[in-house]
């Protein structure tokens, strides 16, 4: 069953046509990746889906409901949470307070303590630094915090925009392991990556975005074996 359906999405920045009529879907339980070069329109796609950037036209359906015109701050209540590009954690707040902000949309906070515990178990570094101001964390720790913060809202669909950006190879592997693990726990994942090799390896399906258009789609395996993807995104 399709959890997220995007139909004929178009997004403009002034006269620039950033996204030109794209359609794709994410089924329940899947990891789906959008790969594409810098400037292809991945972030624009992700942010317009949740209403952070206005859509020119098109339709977004989440769990059967049309959410095209729902304002951004209501999206998370529906079960769709995004870890934005560049992490965008709240630098002036502590690690603990950032996680609380992640739980902002939760209706009752009965499970707050155990939710925090779960996050601290998954990311022990965050537990060690829970009272530290988030702006002083390293890049890897900030990415862990951004993911932990998103998980506090119990998303059914987790959207991650370039979670491996700027991280050391060791941390990149760790991030992909965590994404796989989150998915195993029952959360559907929509991933955006420039790191095509690693992301295709964990993806059920993927789409290739070029200049605001989807030019190729298939299973993770099909795409990593495709001539075009190998040439353009996997360095041969």
Partner 1 sequence: MDFLITLVNGLSLGGIYAMIALGYTMVYGIAKMLNFAHGDIIMVGGYTILLFIPVNPVLAIVAAIVFCVIVGVTIERFAYKPLRGASPLAVLITAIGVSTLLQSLAQVIFGSAPKIQQINLGALQLGQLKIEISTIITLVCSVIVMVALHLFVKYTKVGRAMVAVSEDKGAAQLMGINVNFIIMITFAIGSALAALAGLFYFLKVQTMTTTFGALPGIKAFTAAVIGGIGSIPGAMVGGLLLGVVESICLSIPAISAYTDAIEFSILIIILLVKPTGLLGKKRREKV
* Count of residues interacting with partner 1 (CB under 8 A): 28
Interface with partner 1, residue 76, by CB under 8 A: yes
CA distance 28 to 186: 9
The pair of structure tokens assigned to 205 is 């399906």
Count Cβ neighbours within 10 Å for each residue of 62-101 and write b for 16 or more, e otherwise: bbeeebbebeeeebbebbbbbbbbebebeeeebbbebbbe
Closer to partner 1 by CB, 81 or 224: give it. 81
Binding region for partner 1 (CB under 8 A) out of 33-41, 61-69, 98-106, 205-213: 98-106
> Tokens at residue 40, please?
């292809």
Interface residues for partner 1 in 54-73 (CB under 8 A)? Answer: 71-73
- Return the bridge partners of 210, or none: 213
Beta bridge partners of 33: 191, 206
State yes or no: residue 43 binds Mg ion (CB under 5 A).
yes
Q: Among 40, 119, 175, 223, which residue interacts with ligand ADP (rule: CB under 6 A)? A: 40
x/- contact string, 150-189, with partner 1 (CB under 8 A)?
---x------------------------------------
133 Ramachandran zone, left/alpha/beta (phi>0; psi -120 to 50): beta
Residues in contact with partner 1 by CB under 8 A are 47, 50, 52, 71-77, 81-82, 84, 86, 88-93, 97, 100-102, 104-105, 149, 153
Residues in contact with ligand ADP by CB under 6 A are 13, 16, 18, 36, 38-44
């Amino acid at each position: 069953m399709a959890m997220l359906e995007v139909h004929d999405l178009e997004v403009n920045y002034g006269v620039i046509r950033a996204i030109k009529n794209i359609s794709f879907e994410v089924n329940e339980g899947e990891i789906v990746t959008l790969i594409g070069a810098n400037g292809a329109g991945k972030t624009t796609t992700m942010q317009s889906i949740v209403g952070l950037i206005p859509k020119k036209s098109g339709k977004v359906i989440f769990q059967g409901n049309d959410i095209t015109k729902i304002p951004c701050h209501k999206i998370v209540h529906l079960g769709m949470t995004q870890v934005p590009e560049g992490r965008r954690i709240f630098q002036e707040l502590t690690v603990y307070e950032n996680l609380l902000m992640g739980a902002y949309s939760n209706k009752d906070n009965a499970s707050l303590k155990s939710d925090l515990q779960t996050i601290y178990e998954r990311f022990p570094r965050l537990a060690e630094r829970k009272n530290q101001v988030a702006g002083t964390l390293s890049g890897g720790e900030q990415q862990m915090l951004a993911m932990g913060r998103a998980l506090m809202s119990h998303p059914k669909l987790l959207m991650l925009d370039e979670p491996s950006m700027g991280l050391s190879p060791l941390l990149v592997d760790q991030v992909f392991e965590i994404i796989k693990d989150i998915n195993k726990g029952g959360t559907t994942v929509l991933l955006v990556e420039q790191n095509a090799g690693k992301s295709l390896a964990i993806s059920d399906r993927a789409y290739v975005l070029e200049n605001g258009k989807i030019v190729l789609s298939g299973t993770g395996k099909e795409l990593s074996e495709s001539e075009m993807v190998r040439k353009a995104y996997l360095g041969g």
